[in-house]
Each structure stands twice: as structure tokens, then as C-alpha cells.
Homo-oligomer: A and B are copies of this chain.
Amino acid sequence: MTRIVTVAGAQLGPVQLADDRDSVVERMIVLLQEAASQGADLVVFPELALTTFFPRWFVDDIATTDHFYERSMPNAATQPLFDEARHLEIGFCLGYALLEDAPDGTQHRWNVQTLVERDGSIVGTFKKVHIPGHETNEPDRPFQHAERYYFEPSPDGFGVWDAFGGRVGMMICNDRRWPESYRLMGLQGVELILCGYNTPLHYAPDPSQDPLQGFHNGLVMSAGAYQNGTFVVGVAKGGLEEGVDSLADSSIFAPSGELLAKAETNDDEVIVAECDLDWCKQYTGTLFDFAKYRRPELYGPIAQP
């Protein structure tokens, strides 16, 4: 028996400040159609796909950046993407900034991914757990990475949903560097993890890491896939965006940790892999039979604040 989900990563090249949502959605629809022509059931778009990566600028009044956030999903700008996906009977995962007015009158800013099924129904929305970067202006940097100013960390953690015939989880960008992200989904039986990212090639706190960005990106996703017996799909917004060069290297990894597909450009590009979800059991049912081999009674310090 096989349970094959054909998954596409829809890498985006840069989205400049002057690019409006309509133009980005147009590019995404082209990628969606390309993926559909290759038989994809599911297309994964990057983190913060609809706008430029605005945390690279600091502003004193955060309200002046509200236009970078969505207020609902779908909305007028993204409805054409939802319509075309439903027409093509293809699901997708979309990363964006969400500005939420909570029932109690408070406002919340999240870095999220929404997963949409082939029939257009929304499966779930995931909020980024591990927010990297800094909270305050650091003018000595060549560019900011003020995600901790622009986004609250998720209070919810990592969920796994029944979708596309399997168990599907999500994570966003920096979440992929933390083994806890994969493990928390692994413990819920995840078979397919979807991850968008924006990763500047220059890391100001330690530039010795700059030439290793691609290596680290592949390393953590490959290891997370293997150690949890799951497919992992990582999709970049890459290339030179507002003067900041970002990693492309969108990739799909098998439960064996092996690389199945990888982008060759820094621009809009579709990668595809046929993912047989039954491959997962070859790991989760043997070497990584968690119930048999893990030692959670010794893992306490990992969960201690």
C-alpha cells in the first residue's frame, strides 16, 4: 500500500517594498499552475510570502507598519489564489503576517502559516513558536532582524492536522533549527512538515555563519526528518530583496533524511516530490519507535523553564 501525496515547494524570489499584493498573488498563481501541471496535490509557499520581509527595518511606531499585516484570510488580495487553487483542486500552505483584534480588545501580531485543503477549506493556522532576532533597534547592524518587535511568539506550540490523507504539521523559518519543533510534531505522529522561511545570508551576531547558511538549512531539516521519520518541506523567499541577500535552497526531505528535491535558482521556482507517507513507518515503526525506545522520564530538563 502506498499513500502518495505529490508536494510542491513554490519558492519565491524577492518581493520588493514597491511590489503590491496583487502582483505577488499573480506570481503565486503562476507557480500554483506550474505545480498543478506537475501533478501536485499540495503547494507550499514561503514565510511572509505576500510582502517584503519588513522586520529588516525598525520603526518607532509599530502602527505605521500595519499595512504589512493581513486582517483576515482569505481577503480581497488573496481571494484569487484561493479561487484558482480550488479550481485546480490543489491545496496550499501560505505564510503571512497576521494582525488580530482579539475579542478582549487587545491586538496581536503573529507570523503565521495557513493550510488549505484541496476543497478550499481551511485546515488550520499555525503561529511561529521560535521568534529569532531582537526586540529593539540595533543601528550598528547593516539591516535589522526585529522579528521580536514585530511578532508575538505562539502561545499554542506545534499542532498536527489530519489532511491530504496523512498527518500534517507546520513550522516557520527559525522553528526548523530547534529539534524540539520536529519532536513535538513527531510525538503527534506527523508525516509531513511544511516550513516557509526567509533567511538572510548575513548573520550580524556571528558572520562566520554566513557561508554556512545553506549547509545549516539542509542539515536541520534533514536531521529533523530522519529523527522523526517524516517528510519535511522547506520553502524560501530567496534572492536579493531590498538590498539583503537571502537563502533560496528550497528543499524536500524524505523520512530517511535524504534530499528529494532542491531549488536551483534564487527566484520563483517550483520543486516537486512524490511523498509516499507510508515511508514514515519504516522509521517510526523500527529504530524510532518512540514508545519503545525513548526515555521521557529522563527528559525533564528539556521542558523546564
**Which residues of A approach B to under 8 Å, CB–CB?**
129-132, 153-154, 156-158, 174, 177-180, 182-184, 187, 203, 205-206, 208-209, 212, 215-216, 219-220, 222-224, 226-227, 256-258, 282-283, 285-288, 293-305
Contacts and interface: CB of A to CB of B under 8 A. Distances in A.
B302 A187 contact: yes
A294 B203 contact: no
24 contacts: A131-B293, A132-B287, A132-B293, A157-B295, A174-B293, A177-B288, A179-B180, A179-B223, A180-B298, A180-B299, A180-B302, A183-B302, A203-B286, A203-B287, A205-B286, A206-B283, A206-B287, A208-B282, A209-B256, A209-B286, A212-B257, A219-B223, A223-B224, A302-B303
A294 B258 contact: no
B205 A287 contact: yes
Given A287-B206, A301-B187, A177 B296 contact: no
A205 B184 CA distance: 25
B129 A298 contact: yes
Which 8 pairs show the lowest CB-CB distances between chains A and B? Answer: A223-B223, A179-B179, A157-B298, A205-B286, A299-B303, A303-B303, A296-B305, A206-B282
Given A205-B287, A257-B215, A301 B223 contact: no
**Copies of the chain in the assembly:** 2
A205 to B, nearest CB: 4
A206 B280 CA distance: 12
A184 B180 CA distance: 12
A248 B304 CA distance: 37
A240 B268 CA distance: 49
